[in-house]
Structure 1
């Protein structure tokens, strides 16, 4: 519609112009170069318009002819660029599916058509990686560092190359550069954390965790647990190097973040007890036990009072158990208290439900102590054998001391950060419990009551026997010997218990 309107207007204008020129009156007379001319003014005006139009058209034609080589060149460049981008897309697709040969072919085509651009370098490096050409890959990744827009990709490529080559120091350096460049990159943080933990750089990892929290790579809960565990790991390292004041400062900071962190509570208790602050040490262990029961906390708590009287130790164990009465360790603490007070039947009554649930080395060893204290050496030995065969607690620090290697601390920090536990869940479940019959078989046999006839016969025999006095003396000495036997047996069983628990640890 618009084109028709334009055509009508143009035709009307042309008709008007021709009519105007035809109706012009007058002539144009002139002389130039000794020539005289006399032409109609309309013709002269039309001729002038024709000349101007011809000049304009000629100028445009010359301009187009002059620009033709450039247009042809640009068209060829556009075609090459199109071929290059197609090759680039196909090459990246081949690299994604792992086709090294196809990726390298398309990388050559893309480089030939697009030149040494950042994208062609990336494709060439990836193709070289797939083909195992590490030198070419490194060369292209390093070239990518020169352009700001590809620096991050180059660092990631160099990081992967270093990891593949086993160069952990170089990989950590590239990951740290990438993390500084883009602190919201999850892979950079994970790489820095993993390699930093392997190196034991606890302080540096705390800074990385803080940056990750700021960029929402970690939840506040995970960041809090990670910082607490890192402080504990650094505190143990400080204690090992003799910096006890720094160790105490860091463990106290860790407990402020997480009062239930057993390694921190055990270390702070040991340091405070060494400084004569047993009450504060006990308070730290009690607070940790109330929040997260751990077998090492009970052992560390017992160690605080090991030089005290039996009554003091028993009261301390009762006080400790009251902070988390539903915990398994609380029942073990009460069983230990009964053993200290000589209430061996009460100790066995507490331990039997635990044994039916899961027969671990700790419960079996305590049953051995209870049996030994009651003077039943045979039953005690049976329980010790059971303790030696039972698996040891899988959690770190069950013995009350966290003597971990650097790799062990790295695993602990990672596990505590991710899941709030000190070690991964064991592949196997807890050891099975004992049945009622098994517990009865291991328990000391009850002595049958003496028959009245036997008693009368023995009395009559003693009256008739001329050696009655000697027999009485012999029985008296035997009774004294029997009174001494439980104490001797208890000492022997205690020593064997220690060996059994040690053997259980070696077996597990």
Structure 2
């Protein structure tokens, strides 16, 4: 476009010049070798222009002929280079598609057409062909050679990093990534791997510094960078909470400025204030987070902020959370639990039922079972709510890459990815409960309250037994043939009375284990061993 405009301007200027000369006619006289030459000024200008054009054409022809061998050489060289780049492009595409035969063929053709010193991509094509053919050692040597060249250093380190990851040499892979990130923090793969490594080792300050470099280089978005920095600050605060609560609180507050809904940061800051018995500031930290993202751990810490509070005081604090976030499941559960502790069973039951209608899940039905046990103690109704809990969806938990953790962690223990844990339902229960259910059906099928069982108890009253006089017992009369008469033989009365007393006498109790404890200093009367005792002795 610039050349066209320049050409048009030159033509206009020449035309303007000739027009100016035509408006001002004159005669030009030249005396050369005794001869007078006269002509008009317009003819002289035309001859001069033609002469200049002729000189330029002659010079162009001379220059073309003079430089034709070099031009021909340059033409064939460019053609050869174009063919080489075409072969290189075809080889790279074949390597990406996994065609080892074509990739190796194009590699040989590229090497014949291009010089490896002029085109570093030839080394990459060779390394890719070796990888496809399974020649990993040869490919690693190619990448090492590329890492020594300043022009292909980053590409070589990338190849070495990928090969180390493939072989499971994580430490070597991290070394390559750190080497690349040290000189080029703008490389996403190197910075991400180094960031995960430093996070896994607890080097929070270095990780934050590297993240700031990534943000300045524009590798990562501002919002994502602030979120990851908040996660790193929270992890740093949790690590030094026990040794330096004030410094941990400052880091946690800075994390909350970057990410207002980061629950672990709010918990660390609130616990730090509670150690100083500053309940007001702890509440000022927890309440904004509760408004943005209600969480059961926030509710538990807020309600039980002081150990000396009564159950009524905890109920009031739970009501405060409900006023901040009304019509929320977590608010209803917090009030129901506090009402149960305060023995307000009707209110606890109403809040628990409302929470179950809003989002039925396991912990709510277990809470209703606790309410039933504390209020009625009816085992049938308790078992009913326990059965509902078994069929209900599971509670939310900290989940990352299929791992369920009891507490929040800054990075995934599987992949090392930062900010991987989310508060959600575990993966195995996402599809829903075992059996479809509704709270209204559970309430309608609730067993009636059992009536208290009245048991009869028989009380034995000892009655005194009076002795009844017994008449003398006469023996039967026997016939004595020698006397010829009947004679009554009567037993003595004292003998009969002795027999009655022996019959009425209470037997002496026998110990359960077969006898009184043995005392070596006391001898028993008639201590003659029976048959079983003799067998034991011998």
TM-score, normalised with respect to structure 2: 0.61
The offset of 1:222, in angstroms, is 1.9
Distance 1:272 1:410 in 2: 34
Partner of 1:437: 441
**Structure 1 residues 185 and 444, CA gap change in structure 2 (3 angstroms):** farther
Q: How many residues align?
A: 379
Matched, 1:402 2:402: no
Q: Is the 8 A contact 2:81 2:114 kept in 1?
A: yes
More helix by share: 1
Distance 2:268 2:289 in 1: 12
**Structure 1 residues 392 and 263, CA gap change in structure 2 (3 angstroms):** farther
**Structure 1 residues 401 and 100, CA gap change in structure 2 (3 angstroms):** closer
1:317-336 equivalences under 5 Å are 317-336=318-337
Partner of 2:354: 353
| RMSD, aligned CA | 3.8
Paired residue secondary structure (2:324): coil
Q: Is the 8 A contact 1:152 1:181 kept in 2?
A: no
The offset of 1:316, in angstroms, is 1.6
Cα distance per residue 1:306-355 (max 9 Å; x no partner): 44212211112112222212321111122223323332122222222322
Q: Is the 8 A contact 1:358 1:430 kept in 2?
A: no
1:148-159 equivalences under 5 Å are 148-159=150-161
**Structure 1 residues 136 and 73, CA gap change in structure 2 (3 angstroms):** farther
After the TM superposition, which of the residue ranges 273-282 and 319-328 deviates more from structure 2? 273-282
**Structure 1 residues 246 and 234, CA gap change in structure 2 (3 angstroms):** same
Paired residue secondary structure (2:309): coil
Q: Is the 8 A contact 1:226 1:414 kept in 2?
A: yes
Partner of 1:226: 228
After the TM superposition, which of the residue ranges 152-161 and 302-311 deviates more from structure 2? 302-311
**Structure 1 residues 224 and 83, CA gap change in structure 2 (3 angstroms):** closer
Q: Is the 8 A contact 1:358 1:434 kept in 2?
A: no
Partner of 2:258: 257
Task: Tell me which of the two structures has the higher relative contact order, counting C-alpha pairs closer than 8 angstroms and 6 or more residues apart.
Answer: 1
**Structure 1 residues 380 and 155, CA gap change in structure 2 (3 angstroms):** same
Partner of 2:109: 109
**Structure 1 residues 424 and 167, CA gap change in structure 2 (3 angstroms):** farther
The offset of 1:156, in angstroms, is 1.6
**Structure 1 residues 383 and 87, CA gap change in structure 2 (3 angstroms):** same
Partner of 1:366: 367
**Structure 1 residues 116 and 370, CA gap change in structure 2 (3 angstroms):** same
**Structure 1 residues 425 and 369, CA gap change in structure 2 (3 angstroms):** closer
- Counterpart of 1:123 (choices 122, 125, 144) is 125
1:289-304 equivalences under 5 Å are 289-304=290-305
Cα distance per residue 1:432-485 (max 9 Å; x no partner): 65341322323653879xxxxxxxxxxxxxxxxxx9xxxxxxxxxxxxxxxxxx
Paired residue secondary structure (1:129): helix
After the TM superposition, which of the residue ranges 157-166 and 340-349 deviates more from structure 2? 340-349
Paired residue secondary structure (2:256): helix
Paired residue secondary structure (1:396): strand
Partner of 2:94: 94
Partner of 2:340: 339
**Structure 1 residues 440 and 201, CA gap change in structure 2 (3 angstroms):** farther
The offset of 1:163, in angstroms, is 1.5
Partner of 2:166: 164
Partner of 1:315: 316
Partner of 1:248: 249
Matched, 1:414 2:416: no
Ranges in structure 2 where 5+ consecutive residues have no aligned partner: 1-61, 453-458, 460-538
TM-score, normalised with respect to structure 1: 0.64
**Structure 1 residues 280 and 366, CA gap change in structure 2 (3 angstroms):** same
Ranges in structure 1 where 5+ consecutive residues have no aligned partner: 1-59, 449-466, 468-508
